[in-house]
Amino acid sequence: MALLELKNVTKHYNGIAPALDDVSFSVNEGEFVSIIGSSGSGKTTLLRCINRMVEATSGEIAFGGIVVSRLGKMELRQVRTKIGMIFQQFNLVDRMSVIENVLHGRLGHKSTLAGVLGIYTREERWQALRIIQMLGLDQQVYQRCDQLSGGQKQRVGIARALVQNPKLILCDEPIASLDPSSAKTIMDHLRSICTELGVTLIISLHQVDVALKYTDRIIGLNRGIVVFDGPPGELTSQRSAEIYAKEPKDVNIDLGERNAS
């Protein structure tokens, strides 16, 4: 059964061209899906529409059989607790320690007062520590996040998402601000989260090779339109050129050059 289902999702900001144009696809439980496309093609918008950080203009998004688009505030928060999110700029509270940032993932499960005062149960803290350990951050548990390297910060971001016990994790270009070796560590962790913990992941990337190497399925976006949806094996260089084409005719020029050489 599909965990996530998008039907004819369209998003208009103010401009004339839509940021998302009639996007439909579904994602099964346990899949690791990457979304690729050039900058401005709508990757961020797509991910944010799923947990309604951005409101889609039209279309329907269902998560676990619940139509997200029609939920009230309280129910939406309920759904969000089951969807983790990881960001390019990590988005941590820099002045707080690693463990506190990780535990922020539990806020949605707590009463307002307990959350406001930062009171967490023994189980929550134990779980947070276990996840931190799993991601290899045991030396940094009590360090402030502004003292960490980029790769370490992103692992805190992953831990914050994992401590939610999410069914789905949305990753918006998680390795775009990292050096190659940290990027590899992060991708390896994400892969094993999918394989070993059975969490579904949707990740936006701008490196096609990373998408090919790590993910089960690739969705290509070009100016808000899904132009490719299939396993890595089907992504030929021509299909890839289509995804990154500025104008439809660019594809031909690209191919022409390739043929000439």
Partner 1 sequence: MQADVFIRRRNNAVVFFAILVVLTAGSIVITQYDLQKGFTSFIKAFIWGASNFYPDAGSLRKLPDILVKLWETVLMSIAATTVAAIFSMFLAVFGSRTTRIHVSFTVIARGIGSFFRNMPLVAWAMILMLAFSQSSLTGFLALFLGSLGFLTRAFMETIDEVGENAVEALTSTGAAYFPVIFQAVLPASMPQIVSWLLFMVETNIRDATLVGLLTGTGIGFLFDVYYKSFDYHVASLVVIVIVIAVLIVETVSNGVRRVIL
Partner 2 sequence: MIEIKGIGTEQFSSPNLNTAKPLDRAALAIRLTLLVLAVTTIYALLTINANGIDMPKAILDTLSTLRTIFFQPYSYHFTVWQGFWEIVITLGLAFLTTLFGGVIALFLGLMAAQNLAPKWLTNVIKSVVAFIRAVPSILWVLIFAVAAGLGSTAAVIGLTFHSVAYLTKAYSESFEDLDRSVIEALMATGANWWQVVFQAVIPSSATYLLSWTFLRFEINFSNAVAMGAAAGAAGIGFDLFMASEFYFNLHEVGLVTYFILAFAIILEVLATNMKSRLMKQA
To the nearest whole angstrom, how small is the minimum distance from the Cβ of residue 22 to ligand ADP? 15
DSSP β-bridge partners for residue 67: 62
DSSP state of 43: H
- The DSSP element (H or E) to which 226 belongs, if any, is strand 225-230
Q: Is 44 in the site for Mg ion (CB under 5 A)?
A: yes
Q: Is 99 in the site for partner 1 (CB under 8 A)?
A: yes
Q: What string marks each residue from 108 to 137 as x (binds partner 1 by CB under 8 A) or -?
A: ----------x-x----x------------
To the nearest whole angstrom, how small is the minimum distance from the Cβ of residue 234 to partner 1? 49
Strands 200-205 and 32-36: parallel
To the nearest whole angstrom, how small is the minimum distance from the Cβ of residue 46 to ligand ADP? 7
Residue of the chain from 24, 89, 133, 237 that contacts partner 2 (CB under 8 A)? 89
Binding at 99: pick from partner 2, Mg ion, partner 1, none (beta carbon under 5-8 Å per type): partner 1
Q: Is 230 in the site for partner 1 (CB under 8 A)?
A: no
Q: Which stretch binds Mg ion (CB under 5 A): 3-11, 42-50, 108-116, 229-237?
A: 42-50
CA–CA dist 10, 8 (Å, integer): 6
CB atoms within 10 A of CB 162: 25
Count of chain residues binding partner 2 (CB under 8 A): 33
Convert 83-98 to b/e letters by CB count within 10 Å (16 or more is b). bbbbbbebebeeeebb
Q: Is 84 in the site for partner 2 (CB under 8 A)?
A: yes
Q: Where are the alpha helices (DSSP H) in 27-178?
A: 43-50, 73-80, 98-103, 112-117, 122-134, 150-162
To the nearest whole angstrom, how small is the minimum distance from the Cβ of residue 206 to Mg ion? 9
* Residues of span 135-194 touching partner 2 by CB under 8 A: 160-161, 164
CA 250 to chain centre: 29
Using CB under 8 A, list all residues that contact partner 2: 51, 53, 77-81, 83-85, 87, 89, 91-96, 100, 104-105, 107-110, 112, 115-118, 160-161, 164
